[in-house]
């Protein structure tokens, strides 16, 4: 029971321990609570760096595995393990949480204690989702993480928070219940095939079901994750949830929670049901492309900045899904990287919008204009994040989008041609927003004496900016971590593709796994 053997459990439950201890801090002592939770989350981040140090990017299997019987009667295990995909998402979670806590310092003005503690609970849930290898454990974390988010939106949200929180909750529950049914079906299907019952994901990968069954199971999983991602047309909860959620909630929602959907596709839905996945592949890709264009077009017309960023998420996550559906190493690498990128840049955008909201208590575009003059630092940071979001080369967004588009071009040029328009539209709506908020003359009296970012706010933004530049300039370490995860994903899903009719997914000019040039 050493530190290294149980490192994942430690990372998962450390925030929860923090919650237990933090519960003893009196409610009135607000700064103590803030500092305490911040320190807990920072310690958590440092501990999670341990994973990076000991992560072996050349190994193909799961690492840091833990396995204990949990409910032996039903063969439910407490089984953890991560690969490159989970590692990056866990790091993203532990990286964003302290920033979110620090960013909420002055934003939250009621029930501070509960707010900060709920965030730690949320962190436990999120990391648990990314680390569990047992389907029931996964499901438990998946549902558990809904509760803190529901409460964060519902208690600290905007005027229509109840509507948004309920919408968020019901949408997600609807999907996950279908998933639960599918999980249980899988359990019995595996049992009837092999005689042993298990929820172990790694064993279930080897289960081969007939097409007709796979279709239904895949549909259940895919719908659940599609809502979470969200894939068009299941996206309408997102703008509402984002607009009403407090800044911290939005950041985590966009930064991490949406990734659970894409993670689900990559970890569960696609590899578990390869035949069905291949049958659904073109449809999902088309939905992703519709999402890219549609999200961008709708974002273009939003009068509310936060709603705009929310719709841009729909567009960006369309890219991720497209990357996953293109099924070649470049696109999948790009998709995973784009998950991280989106977490960083959209998270940062939400934080920045939150800072603006804190000053002006409005998010209407028409209320702003000419702010670059009064808030130069803010304007600069916003510009960098905007550029990252529209995929300017040299910043993180480009690497992901480039790989995704390149890979999807290999898979089917039409995908890339259509999805590529999203790149243009992305520039249109982001620059339009930037211009409306920051450029022009100050027309609104209220904007004349806005104070620029405080030191604390700058500290919140700097780590994100560093990551944005780092991934843009030197993405290799990240790609190395991702590499084996995406390769095994392709291996699980691909073989059936070959049988199912190459022509559909492999146009004549596409590569047959080309050699590397020395």
Partner 1 sequence: MELNIVRYILIFPLLGFLVNGLVGKRLGNKAVGWIANSAVFISFALVVYIFIQLLSMAPGSRLITDTVYTWINSGSLTIDFKLMIDPLTIVMLLVVTGVGFLIHIYSIGYMHGDRSYSRFFAYLNLFMFSMLLLVLSSNIVLMFVGWEGVGLCSYLLIGFWYEKDSAANAGKKAFITNRVGDYGFLLGLFLLASAFASKGILTLDFTTMAAHISLISPQILTIVGILLFVGATGKSAQLPLYVWLPDAMEGPTPVSALIHAATMVTAGVYMIARMNFLYVLAPEALEVVAIVGGLTALYAATIGLVQNDIKRVLAYSTISQLGYMFVGVGVGAFSAGIFHLMTHAFFKALLFLGAGSVIHALSGEQDMRKMGGLKNKIPVTHAVFLAAALAISGIPGLSGFFSKDSILAAAYASGHTVIWLLGFITALLTAFYIFRLIYMTFYGESRLDKHAAEHVHESPKVMTVPLIILAVLSVIGGYIGVPQLLGNLVGWHNSDIFVNFLAPVFRTMPKHEMPVSTESWLMIGSIAMAILGVFFAWYVYIKSKMRPAEHAAESLPGVYRLLLNKYYVDEVYNAIIIKPLLWMSENFLWKIFDVRVVDGTVNGSAQVTQWASTKLRKIQTGDFQVYVMLFLIGVISVLAYFVLR
Which positions touch partner 1 (CB under 8 A)?
167, 170-171, 233, 235-237, 294, 297-298, 300-302, 328-330, 333-334, 370, 372-373, 380, 387, 392-394, 398-399, 402-403, 405-406, 409-410, 413, 416-417, 420-421, 423-424, 427-428, 431-432, 435, 438-441, 473-476, 479-480, 483, 508-517
- Among 174, 97, 71, CA closest to 343: 97
- SS3 label, residue 252: helix
Query: Which CB atom, from 120 or from 493, has the smaller least distance to partner 1?
Result: 493
- SS3 label, residue 58: coil
Task: Specify whether the CB–CB gap between 40 and 14 falls below 8 A.
Answer: yes
Peptide bond connecting 233 to the previous residue in cis, omega within 30 degrees of 0: yes
Task: Specify whether the CB–CB gap between 128 and 141 falls below 8 A.
Answer: yes
Contacts 24+ apart (CB under 8 A), 494-503: 494/274, 494/327, 495/274, 496/274, 496/275, 496/277, 496/278, 497/278, 497/281, 497/327, 500/275, 500/278, 500/279
Distance in Å, CB of 258 to partner 1, minimum: 17
Instruction: Give dist(CA 225, CA 432) in Å, integer.
Output: 32
Task: Specify whether the CB–CB gap between 284 and 408 falls below 8 A.
Answer: no
413 vs 283, 404, 416, 448, 466, CA distance in Å? 16, 12, 5, 50, 34
In this structure, the dihedral spanned by the alpha carbons of residues 368, 369, 373 and 375, taken in order and rounded to 10 degrees, is: 30
- How far is it between the farthest Cα atoms of the chain? 74
Token pair of 389, please? 């979001």
Query: Which CB atom, from 215 or from 427, has the smaller least distance to partner 1?
Result: 427
Instruction: Give dist(CA 135, CA 168) in Å, integer.
Output: 23
Distance in Å, CB of 390 to partner 1, minimum: 8
Query: Which CB atom, from 127 or from 164, has the smaller least distance to partner 1?
Result: 164
Query: Which CB atom, from 156 or from 398, has the smaller least distance to partner 1?
Result: 398
In this structure, the dihedral spanned by the alpha carbons of residues 503, 403, 380 and 156, taken in order and rounded to 10 degrees, is: 70
Distance in Å, CB of 163 to partner 1, minimum: 9
Query: Which CB atom, from 100 or from 390, has the smaller least distance to partner 1?
Result: 390
Distance in Å, CB of 386 to partner 1, minimum: 11
Instruction: Give dist(CA 65, CA 77) in Å, integer.
Output: 12
Token pair of 298, please? 């709708």
Distance in Å, CB of 409 to partner 1, minimum: 4
- Among 9, 24, 31, CA closest to 101: 31
Instruction: Give dist(CA 14, CA 40) in Å, integer.
Output: 8
- Among 264, 44, 5, 279, CA closest to 141: 264
Query: Which CB atom, from 294 or from 505, has the smaller least distance to partner 1?
Result: 294
Distance in Å, CB of 493 to partner 1, minimum: 15
Distance in Å, CB of 228 to partner 1, minimum: 15
Query: Which CB atom, from 191 or from 303, has the smaller least distance to partner 1?
Result: 303
Distance in Å, CB of 379 to partner 1, minimum: 9
Task: Specify whether the CB–CB gap between 429 and 296 falls below 8 A.
Answer: yes
Distance in Å, CB of 203 to partner 1, minimum: 28
Distance in Å, CB of 300 to partner 1, minimum: 5
Distance in Å, CB of 373 to partner 1, minimum: 7
């Amino acid at each position: 029971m050493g530190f290294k053997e149980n490192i994942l459990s430690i990372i998962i439950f450390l925030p929860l321990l923090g919650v237990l201890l933090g519960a003893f801090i009196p409610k009135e002592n607000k700064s103590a609570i803030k500092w305490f939770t911040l320190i807990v989350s920072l310690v958590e981040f440092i501990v999670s760096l341990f994973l990076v140090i000991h992560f072996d990017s050349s190994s193909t299997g799961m690492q840091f595995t833990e396995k204990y019987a949990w409910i032996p009667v039903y063969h439910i295990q407490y089984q953890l393990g991560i690969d490159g995909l989970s590692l990056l998402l866990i790091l993203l979670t532990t990286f964003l949480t302290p920033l979110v806590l620090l960013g909420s310092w002055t934003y939250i003005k009621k029930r501070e204690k509960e707010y900060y503690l709920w965030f730690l609970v949320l962190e436990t849930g999120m990391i648990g989702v990314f680390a569990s290898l047992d389907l029931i454990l996964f499901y438990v974390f998946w549902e558990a993480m809904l509760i803190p988010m529901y409460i964060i939106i519902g208690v600290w949200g905007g005027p229509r928070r109840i509507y948004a929180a309920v919408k968020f909750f019901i949408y997600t529950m609807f999907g996950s219940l279908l998933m639960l049914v599918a999980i249980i079906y899988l359990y019995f299907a595996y049992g009837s095939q092999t005689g042993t019952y298990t929820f172990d994901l790694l064993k279930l990968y080897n289960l081969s079901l007939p097409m007709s069954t796979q279709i239904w199971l895949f549909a259940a999983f895919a719908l659940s994750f599609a809502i979470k991602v969200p894939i068009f047309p299941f996206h309408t909860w997102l703008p509402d949830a984002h607009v009403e959620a407090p800044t911290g909630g939005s950041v985590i929602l966009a930064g991490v929670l949406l990734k659970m959907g894409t993670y689900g596709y990559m970890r569960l839905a696609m590899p578990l049901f390869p035949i069905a996945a291949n049958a659904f592949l073109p449809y999902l890709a088309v939905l992703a492309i519709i999402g890219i264009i549609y999200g961008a077009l709708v974002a273009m017309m939003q009068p509310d900045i936060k709603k705009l960023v929310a719709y841009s998420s729909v567009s960006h996550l369309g890219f991720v899904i497209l990357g996953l559906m293109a099924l070649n190493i470049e696109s999948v690498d790009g998709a995973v990287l784009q998950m991280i990128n989106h977490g960083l840049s959209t998270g940062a955008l939400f934080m920045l919008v939150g800072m603006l909201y804190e000053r002006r208590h409005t998010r209407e575009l028409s209320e702003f204009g000419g702010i670059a003059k009064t808030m130069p630092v803010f304007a600069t940071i916003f510009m960098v994040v905007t550029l990252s979001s529209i995929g300017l080369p040299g910043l993180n967004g480009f690497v992901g989008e480039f790989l995704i588009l390149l890979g999807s071009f290999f898979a089917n040029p039409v995908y890339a041609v259509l999805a590529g328009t999203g790149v243009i539209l992305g520039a249109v709506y982001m620059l339009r927003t930037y211009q409306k908020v920051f450029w022009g003359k100050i027309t609104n009296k209220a904007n004349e004496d806005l104070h620029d970012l405080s030191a604390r706010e700058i500290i919140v933004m700097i780590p994100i900016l560093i990551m944005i530049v780092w991934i843009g300039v030197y993405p290799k370490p990240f790609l190395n971590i991702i590499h084996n995860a995406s390769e095994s994903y392709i291996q699980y899903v691909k073989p059936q593709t070959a049988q199912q009719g190459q022509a559909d997914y492999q146009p004549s000019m596409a590569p047959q796994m080309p050699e590397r040039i020395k």
